[in-house]
Amino acid sequence: MGLPVTSGRVRMLKPLLAAGFRGLSAAARRERPRGLVYERHGEPAQVLSLKDIHLAELGDFGVHVKMISAPVNPSDINMIQGTYAILPDLPAIGGNEGVGQVIETGSQVTSLKSGDLVILADSGLGTWRTEAVFGEETLLKIPQEIPLSCAATLSVNPCTAYRMLSDFGILKPGDSVIQNAANSGVGQAVIQIAAARGIKTINVVRDRPNLHQLVERLKSLGADHVITEETLRKPEIKELFKKIPQPKLALNGVGGKSATELLRHLCHKGTMVTYGGMSKQPVPVPVSALIFKNVKLCGFWITQWKRENARNKEQLRDMIGELCDLIRKGLLVAPACQEIPLVDYRAALEASMKPYVSAKQILLM
Ligand SMILES: NC(=O)c1ccc[n+]([C@@H]2O[C@H](COP(=O)([O-])OP(=O)(O)OC[C@H]3O[C@@H](n4cnc5c(N)ncnc54)[C@H](OP(=O)(O)O)[C@@H]3O)[C@@H](O)[C@H]2O)c1
């Protein structure tokens, strides 16, 4: 497609903030808010259209936000297709995460001010738009120095990776974790957060013509071992597990045979957390894994976690704070991404649904 692929380290926020909203031309400021709207469920490229939208009243507790960028995640696609666990009322605006800058706040808003950089604390609010009025409680302020691509992709995948590495048993430095779809947004965050904690990762990916490049990229993020689904099935793989402890935790974003293979390598009483089903296949569990290994099978959904922790946002703020610290230290970078102007949304949607792309599509508003 010839569009630039950036690593997430490259685009920094400062130049954009330096221009600031005061720097925008009067014509740009008068531009009507627009968003990617769908009135029925179906294939995203067919049912979404870029339309002028009306903003909600600011009221006392509203926050007027100029959206800067927002990624296209698999759950956004499923929501538009109508197959996701939560569906907004129609017509709706696509997108569940992203980063924006506060333009104006309602008179009773205390936690945010004009110029603050914000991300969304909840899903289903529609981020593929140029402007929005969100409730104060749905926004989280993040530090200005965070690179934009990190900010835009912070609230879903790194949070999921963080919780899965924190909430399913104690992992000590030197312990190991095995995961499939290791090149996904979640997978890349798992690699980096685990590496920062001294936890070893065994990362399973699908074979592809440019495998070597992908292996190098994941290793540069801190992956200890990167292997293909096919290699994981071979008997020789036993050699690998002589060098590192058998994984206590398996993270499954794929399902099907890939999940069964993860289970085969899990340690006695280990846990497999399923968070995604990219193969659209169920998770077959051998009886022997349950009886002789006594493995635990769990699921995780970040949306539910955020809702359960919504009343007291302290845990969410702490997690975002820790993730921002890792970003500042250069230990957590955004997934490889491809930035696409909002008007070219169809290209972004298409690329996001293609296999072996290994780049997160980011819409620039
Ligand atoms: N439960 C939660 O809270 C939660 C939170 C975030 C994400 N998720 C889920 O996690 C999954 C990954 O999300 P993401 O944003 O990280 O994805 P992403 O960055 O778009 O990457 C998609 C990943 O899925 C792999 N994949 C696609 N089709 C596949 C197939 N048929 N078989 C095996 N692998 C396949 C891709 O591998 P290739 O490069 O080989 O194509 C890639 O690794 C999605 O299912 C998403 O809904 C769940």
Q: What would the two tokens of residue 52 be? A: 């002028």
> What confidence score (pLDDT) does residue 171 get?
97
Q: What are the boundaries of each domain within the chain?
A: 5-153+334-364, 157-303
pLDDT of residue 1: 34
Q: Cα 52 to the chain's mean position, in Å?
A: 27
C-beta of 88 in contact with ligand 1 (< 6 A)? no
53 phi and psi angles, rounded to 5 deg? -125, 155
Residue 132 has pLDDT above 60, yes or no: yes
pLDDT band at 2; cut points 50, 70, 90: very low
What is residue 309's predicted lDDT score, i.e. its pLDDT?
83
Atom of ligand 1 nearest to the CA of 357: 39
User: What pLDDT is stored for residue 183 in this prediction?
Assistant: 97
Is residue 358 within 6 Å of ligand 1 at its C-beta? yes
- What is the CATH number that goes with domain 157-303? 3.40.50.720
DSSP string over 18-33: HHTTTTS-HHHHHSPP
pLDDT value at residue 311 = 65
Confidence bin at 8 (pLDDT 50/70/90): very low
355 lines ligand 1 (CB under 6 A): yes
pLDDT at 51: 97
Class of domain 5-153+334-364 (CATH, top level): alpha beta
Site to probe by mutation for ligand 1, drawn from 154, 278, 350 as the one with most ligand atoms within 8 Å of Cβ, is 278
- The per-residue pLDDT for 4 is 33
* Beta-strand runs (E) in the chain: 5-6, 34-38, 48-52, 62-71, 92-93, 99-105, 117-120, 131-135, 139-142, 176-179, 200-205, 225-228, 249-252, 271-274, 296-299, 337-341, 360-364
Q: How confident is the model over 330-362, as pLDDT tens digits?
A: 999 999 999 999 999 999 999 999 999 889 999
What mean pLDDT, rounded, does the chain reach? 91
Q: Among 61-65, 158-162, 307-311, 314-318, where is mean pLDDT lowest?
A: 307-311
Inter-residue contact 42 to 81 (CB < 8 Å):
yes
Q: Which atom of ligand 1 is nearest to the CA of 258?
A: 33
- CB neighbourhood size of 176 (10 A): 21
Q: How far is the CA of 225 from the centre of ligand 1 (A)?
A: 19
Residue range 20-51, pLDDT digits in tens? 333 444 444 558 999 999 999 999 999 999 99
Which residues are part of the catalytic machinery?
A: 84
pLDDT at residue 30, as a whole number: 57
Q: Which atom of ligand 1 is nearest to the CA of 360?
A: 19
Amino acid at 27: A
Q: What is the pLDDT of residues 75-104, one digit of tens each?
A: 999 999 999 999 999 999 999 999 999 999
